[in-house]
Amino acid sequence: MGDSDLPLSRDIVLRLLRGEIDPVEDHMLVMEDIVLFAVARLDEADTGWLLHHLADTAWPYERRADVAAMMVRHRAEAFAALGDDSR
């Protein structure tokens, strides 16, 4: 896990937030833990970037919550960043 993996990890998370990765349609990305490892890499090495996107209400709450649930190291901060889904 190096810094060279960060752009790819960011791309995977952005694709998930945009809805381009669907757990049913893209089951190999989910089954092979590619998405989980991308989130874990960012959780460890680029937490600020990840929390910024989790706080961005332009992304659907459900997708942001999916990403937050995959985080381990900064999970509490991730769920705090989600804010209230009272829309």
Condensed to tens digits (0 to 9), the pLDDT of residues 68-87 reads 999 999 999 999 999 876 55
Distance from C-alpha of 52 to C-alpha of 49, rounded to nearest angstrom? 5
Quote the pLDDT of residue 58. 96
* Cβ neighbours around 85 below 10 Å, total: 11
Quote the pLDDT of residue 87. 54
Quote the pLDDT of residue 3. 66
Low-confidence ranges of the chain (pLDDT < 50): 1
Quote the pLDDT of residue 86. 56
| Structure-token pair, residue 69 | 């649930």
